[in-house]
Structure 1
């Protein structure tokens, strides 16, 4: 162990090494517990040494997002835009499931780095390579939203676990007041072995919504849809 730590200390510090170590720490302990001091300890350096590579915590988080986006497989082996987009989005989802903290960090970023912009540009290019107009592609990207990164904000996120902690009396009262919400939230046919956890935000729900979107995009494209004709 001592020899391993000594090897770490002797390895030249670089931005890539700092960001990679930060991602590992976030994977292990959550991004909330990540600090420059803790990261420096992990790398065997003084905290000030980190600031030669990242200006502050926000820049560190920006760089961590770049690492995550860089892990997404952007190669598309399927034929046609629809298959290619589907593969890309599901590849992104696998990365986000591997790094659960990344979703919150991606949502919190206000600036788009070159790595993020390149990914978005590539995604847009997949639709345009399929013959989509700039007009339709614009609205398609709005509809895709965070799904291009492999996640969505679920309306019934982990609802089964949440309702399990509510007393029967309270559940009965809620069922009377919000019958439709409770009927959906209490459905028992969710997969207990979901990659995300018990509840609606599992792989099936994600792919179900993704396929609905892609089918809709395909129909609009074939119809020659334009936004001017809908306003």
Structure 2
């Protein structure tokens, strides 16, 4: 019999020229698979590439360089705010794209603002966000306030969303129904009310909470008269 499929893939991978981009993309795949960057050893990254760990050092300087590259790769997946719309719509678009990327790569949340050597995609993204707010009439100080507020809500919501004990409406129904069933009768009327009259209603989607909260945050922000025109 021929060699295993895994062995064949490893050999094919080894024949593909190694590059920094391949190292970073493989590291991302490993982190996605393991659900954490804690598993990102040089050996763990080298194995699916079909090379020795020492070969990676021709393209990255070490683990910290890989983490820098991972953050930049995630930012590269996030849409920059569109320039052909108002600032609120631009922030909605960017926030939704960020949320989608962070749900694809849950391990990234704690890394996104932690790197002291941001890459080109990271710099491009942040500059575009600042530019959209400045073009919308925000002063430099108000732009800083707005970014801090928006990102605190955005990262916090995704972190909470990823920790929930359900995925999708069907699982939510199961979890909420089980909680109601196991709760002592008539002891928690407000929890019962919320579950029966809101969460368990047909069409409820926890994801809608994100849009509601984001809209509330953006409606609280206003350009100020000191901004440049």
Common topology (TM > 0.5): yes
Mean Cα deviation higher: 53-62 or 139-148: 139-148
Which secondary structure does the structure 2 equivalent of 1:79 belong to? coil
Residue 14 of structure 2 corresponds to 9
Q: Distance in 2 between matches of 1:87 and 1:12?
A: 37
Which residue of 100, 103, 107 maps to 1:94? 100
Measure how far apart 1:208 and its partner are.
Answer: 1.3
Partner of 2:71: 65
Q: If the length of structure 2 is used for normalisation, what is the TM-score? A: 0.73
SS at structure 1 position matched to 2:80: coil
Per the TM alignment, residue 89 of structure 1 is displaced from its structure 2 partner at its CA by 1.1
Secondary structure, aligned partner of 2:116: coil
Count of matched residue pairs: 209
The 5 A counterparts of 1:136-155 are 136-147=142-153, 151-154=157-160
**Deviations 1:103-138 (Å, cap 9, x if unpaired)?**
23326x242503323211110110111121112212
**Do the aligned residues in 1 keep the contact of 2:139 with 2:226 (CA within 8 Å)?**
no
From 164, 170, 178, the equivalent of 1:158 is: 164
Residue pair 1:89, 1:147 contacting (<8 A) in 2 also: no
- In the alignment, the residues of structure 2 paired with residue 187 and residue 67 of structure 1 have an alpha-carbon distance, to the nearest angstrom, of 39
Cα distance in 2, alignment partners of residues 74 and 110 from structure 1: 19
Give 1:33 deviation, angstroms: 2.8
CA offset digits 1:136-166 (Å, max 9, x no partner): 21211221234566955549953786995xx
In structure 2, runs of 5+ residues without a counterpart are: 166-171
- What is the Cα-based RMSD across aligned positions, in Å? 3.8
> Which residue of 123, 128, 140 maps to 2:129?
123
Matches within 5 A, 1:21-32: 21-31=26-36, 32=38
